[in-house]
Amino acid sequence: MKRPILDSRRRAVLAVVAAFPGGRECAAACLGLDLKQFDNKLYENPGHRPLTDEQVRQLEKVAGTTYLPDYITGLYNGVFVAMPEPADTDNIDLLARAMGTAVKRGKVDAMILKALEDGQIDEAELASIITAHRQHIAARHAEVGAILALHRKPQP
């Protein structure tokens, strides 16, 4: 699945709703809003406040996405990393994380190689490479966090 490049809060929120199981109707129900209220907030219609960060977070928990924090950290040239819970981590999880990180690094390297075929990197290629690179760095950071969580010496 190709991940969208999110260059505004509105696009991040729209991506969350697009990823929500059941679409807008189910997202509205999840927040306890009727569809008209939800659409007014979602599309930021005049006279209506947009969805709050907490409402978007609630939708993202159900959808399993991190579009809003990815967008916000991107504003600061950072990377959002959801750290694993120690109870959710075992050696199988560590192996899966390591392989996932390697795949993401390979994707970045392949994108760079392809972009350099003509000798230069254009703006669209740059944006795609940066997005993939952030995903790789986030995966690596989460991988290291999982290793530390699983193998940390218990505190007395």
Of the candidates 145, 16, 117, the residue with the CA atom closest to the CA atom of residue 68? 16
pLDDT higher than 90, residue 152: no
- Whole-angstrom distance, CA of residue 139 vs CA of residue 80: 10
Q: For residue 4, what pLDDT is reported?
A: 62
- Give me the phi and psi of 122, to 5 degrees please: -85, 175
| Percent of the chain with pLDDT strictly greater than 90 | 70
Q: What distance in Å separates the CA atoms of residue 7 and residue 11, rounded to the nearest whole number? A: 7
Q: pLDDT for 94-134, tens place per residue?
A: 999 999 999 999 999 999 999 999 999 999 999 999 989 98
Sign (positive or negative) of CA dihedral 61, 66, 68, 69: positive
- The predicted model gives 82-105 an average pLDDT of 87
Using CA atoms, how far residue 48 sits from 71, 109, 150, in Å, is 22, 44, 46
Report the C-alpha gap between 36 and 64 in whole angstroms: 24
pLDDT above 80: residue 36: yes
Instruction: Say which residue, 113 or 74, is predicted with more confidence.
Output: 113
